[in-house]
Amino acid sequence: MSDLEPGAAPAIDLREAMRTARSLRRFRPEPVSDEVLARCLEAATWAPSGSNAQAWKFLVLRSPEVRAVLGPAFREGWDWVRTIYGQAAEAPPADDTSRQARLTRTMLHLVDNFENVPVYVLFCYRLTGFVPEFIEGGSIFPAMQNFLLAARAEGLGTVPSTWFTFAEDKLRSIIGIPDDWRIAALVAAGWPVGRHGPVRRRPLHTVTALDTWDNPFLTP
């Protein structure tokens, strides 16, 4: 079961939400209501935006046409990425309970069932041509993070991805995305099977520095 039942009011400390908003890849079949999605999307609009331009658009996707495109795209993405990491095409043996095996099983479940994800949210940003493209997209990722944290507070499971790129032309055509808009990421969301839990990250002192590159920022 998820931490919250569908429709329950969110109540969670912000730091706890950040600490436990790990990617979840198994979803129950219940739909995500427009009311819950609206709260998460409103949180996305509160993100920082350069010059307050708010040159973003958040597309809620549920249609069969979109699902028919995304399912094969994600399976192609898995075939590509697994070769990079040296992973086998099939699921690990049932008696393999290692962390990597558990992760692989959840990934395979998502890939094999991507057409059945309750809802997808596509995060897009508009190009202006005034600055390099990656700078123009600098506001869309804080917006997506706000969405992920709000979804965690609601009890939703989410997982962001860029595997939409394996069918981007078809996706753009179905949705009607203008040429001057770029897709930053796709988030799959739904009521999760299983529970949220702590993310696993490297110790702070290994990824921080004070004043110079090689001088560690030592925490108290």
Residue 211 tokens read as 């004043």
User: What is the value of pTM for the model shown?
Assistant: 0.89
CATH 3.40.109.10 at 14-206, yes or no: yes
pLDDT at 89: 66
From first to last of its 220 residues, the chain has per-residue pLDDT tens of 344 444 455 678 999 999 999 999 999 999 999 999 999 999 999 999 988 999 999 999 999 999 999 999 999 998 888 888 766 667 777 777 777 777 778 888 899 999 999 999 999 999 887 777 778 788 999 999 999 999 999 999 999 999 999 999 999 999 999 999 999 999 999 999 989 999 999 999 899 999 999 998 987 7
Domain boundaries, the chain: 14-206
